[in-house]
Amino acid sequence: MDMLKTDAQILLQILNIQDKDKLILIKEDTDSDGNFIIAHALRHIFQDENRGVCLVMLQNNLIHYQSVGKRLNYNLQENITTKRDRKSTAGFVNKVFGLIYVIIDNLSCLLDIGWEFKHCMHFVNMLINLNDRVNVIVSVHQATSDDQHLATAMNYISDIVVSVESLKAGRSPIVTGIINIKRNDTSVENYHFKTSEKGLRYLNRVILLRIYMLFNI
């Protein structure tokens, strides 16, 4: 099996996205980019043809996700075309799909264009209460105190929190940063990662895996 496909499957196993996870939060600190989590979540969604997706691209564009998707063995443009055809004949929510994922990349951009904190929270709450079959994935880049306030508030209502962080002690030739995964009522899972020109390595005490740095294209 192709190494990239194998690595992508391992990362999805670690994320372990379940249908019951109503809200998934991806937090990035100032020096980190967690966009690869969204790219792998899309792969997870497209593995089931009965799922639908609404991708709200506030930071990265369609060309970016198309390029990343091809490296992960899915064609975003083809999926968009297929879903559009089905929508016109059967209806997006009521007649065809099972779960529908609304993915926001990234919510911090709304603060940048003048939205207030309360409006951002209202928007997310509206989405998660829109329909029993709608799940939401939101990324927040914590570059300002307002971003941090938003991310902290989102922590309390999220089923899974994935934090992508740089090293607090500074740069290291061995480790670039840390990924923390926190689910409701479970302990935090920690993974160190090392970036390179060819890829990204994840390490913890028992797991070593490698996936490619898909968001630097």
With b for 16 or more beta-carbon neighbours within 10 A and e for fewer, the 89-117 pattern comes to: eeeeeeebbebbbbbbbbbbbbbeeebee
Residue 184's pLDDT is what? Answer: 83
The β-bridge partners of 203 are 192, 208
This model's pTM is above 0.85: no
Spatial distance between the Cα atoms of 161 and 13, rounded to a whole number of angstroms = 15
- Two tokens at 41? 């979540």
- Two tokens at 67? 């390029």
- Two tokens at 106? 């990234």
Amino acid present at 113: I
Spatial distance between the Cα atoms of 53 and 74, rounded to a whole number of angstroms = 14
Q: Which residue has the tokens 């390179």?
A: 196
Q: Report the sign of the C-alpha dihedral through residues 66, 128, 32, 162, in that order.
A: negative
Strands (E) located in 39-172: 52-57, 100-105, 134-142, 160-166
Spatial distance between the Cα atoms of 53 and 216, rounded to a whole number of angstroms = 23
Residue 71's pLDDT is what? Answer: 79
Residue 207's pLDDT is what? Answer: 41
Element (H, E) at 28: strand 23-29
Residue 93's pLDDT is what? Answer: 55
Residue 138 Ramachandran class (φ > 0 left, ψ -120 to 50 alpha, else beta): beta
Amino acid present at 195: T
What residues in the chain have per-residue pLDDT under 70?
1-8, 81-97, 170-173, 194-217
Coil, strand or helix at 176: coil
List of domains in the chain = 3-211 (3.40.50.300)
